[in-house]
Structure 1
């Protein structure tokens, strides 16, 4: 039995991951903003031991205490999945620093504020797995979501450094670069064949974290696509509407 902490547990993908861990008989501590949705995720986990806490990760000064309470509830942590995030409103972020800062805080700063105490705990224990959901949007800035992409790109770099720092302690850090997934966060996006489904994406995430994979594209076909997106010369990139358009 593993002790699993899921932050942002009410997202569609995290809820699916919680059920996977529950089916294995793992012990869960779920943290999210909406207590009613948390209760529903916990109910779907069945008869395993599940504890929950409602928390707003945007309140950065409270996040160390959230992590500390999670450690106490689980009596230690074997695996943490950081799954919260929000794409925000790109157009609004271009006109309002307040909106831009909110996107950066949700997708980068709040994650760092949680990872610091959790990583320190696992480093001291010399064991553990950390999985953090980022995005393929962090691999290259595109007009349609570059504020969100900047936050995820910064998080990717942070995780690279954290992974190397924790290597000597036997703690693995998995960067989970997700392509678009058919979830409420993308409800206003036109769907196409490259959109993942939450259940399969969650299965891929759990497999990658269990294996200690340093960096996983989910679904895996994005590993072939993103080098082309990243390495296309900018002058060409700007002429291709499917890459540079809104």
Structure 2
């Protein structure tokens, strides 16, 4: 893991911009001088709400794009503009119970958290872009560390995303472009409400502040930090115990 503060982030491209953690990161970026945002999300109305806030509060230039990762035909993204930071925070828990017997739901979970992101990640980490300074942050999950009976489709998709992005990380070794893979534990949000103990949930604002201390850090990291020892224990649990998780 390499630590570096690097230059100031002046522009950000955000996929999954309506997620709670992405909104917190956008606000924190704007507070630190970021003045150009391109926001991509499925919920265009909520996306426009964030865009208005960034314009009105911070005077930022903001554009929005509607993106559905579950579209039947994969997109071929094109980038006509270079950004300092590319943030990929898209994803969905889906219906884990339904996915056990419904192949379509299982496929949607995989597409929302992994395969639907591949065209975007491929376009971002282009041979030309990685020759220039910049950063890619990708949110995976601690669920990638071990299969659990309660959400193994989600965990498998996040594990696939993790390994794919690890390949991007190694590809960019020694290049100016920094790849940062974030194995996130529970973050307080509508997605985790009622599904995670509040004591184990970090606030989106704290996650944003922690990440922006070293915005051009490279490598794979577990956030918040206390999930690292917790997952070390989970990975070593006997099968009989893990089956109850």
**For residues 231-246 of structure 1, what are the structure 2 equivalents within 5 Å?**
231-232=236-237, 236-238=238-240, 240=241, 243-245=242-244
Paired residue for 1:41? 50
Question: Normalising by the residue count of structure 1, what TM-score does the alignment of the two structures yield?
Answer: 0.88
User: Which of residues 225, 228, 246 in structure 1 aligns to 2:233?
Assistant: 228
Secondary structure in 2 aligned to 1:100?
A: helix
Task: Select the structure that is richer in helix.
Answer: 1
Paired residue for 1:168? 174
The yes-or-no answer on 1:63 pairing with 2:75 is yes
Paired residue for 2:6? none
The yes-or-no answer on 1:178 pairing with 2:184 is yes
Q: 1:60 Cα shift?
A: 6.4
Deviations 1:70-98 (A, max 9, x none): x33xx312210000100111111110111
Secondary structure in 2 aligned to 1:51?
A: strand
Deviates more, 1:155-164 or 1:37-46: 37-46
Deviates more, 1:223-232 or 1:75-84: 223-232
Q: 1:119 Cα shift?
A: 0.5
Q: 1:148 Cα shift?
A: 0.1
Q: What do you get for the CA RMSD once the two structures are aligned?
A: 1.8
CA contact 2:10–2:84 (8 Å) conserved in 1:
yes
Structure 2 gap ranges (5+):
1-8
CA contact 1:133–1:178 (8 Å) conserved in 2:
yes
Structure 1 gap ranges (5+):
none
CA contact 1:79–1:130 (8 Å) conserved in 2:
yes
CA contact 1:25–1:48 (8 Å) conserved in 2:
no
Relative distance call for 1:229 and 1:130 in structure 2 (3 A) is same
Relative distance call for 1:161 and 1:124 in structure 2 (3 A) is closer
Secondary structure in 2 aligned to 1:64?
A: coil
**For residues 4-153 of structure 1, what are the structure 2 equivalents within 5 Å?**
4-26=12-34, 27-45=36-54, 46=57, 47-59=59-71, 61-65=73-77, 68=78, 71-72=79-80, 75-120=81-126, 123=129, 125-153=131-159
Q: 1:36 Cα shift?
A: 1.0
Deviates more, 1:196-205 or 1:178-187: 196-205
Relative distance call for 1:223 and 1:122 in structure 2 (3 A) is farther
Aligned residues: 233
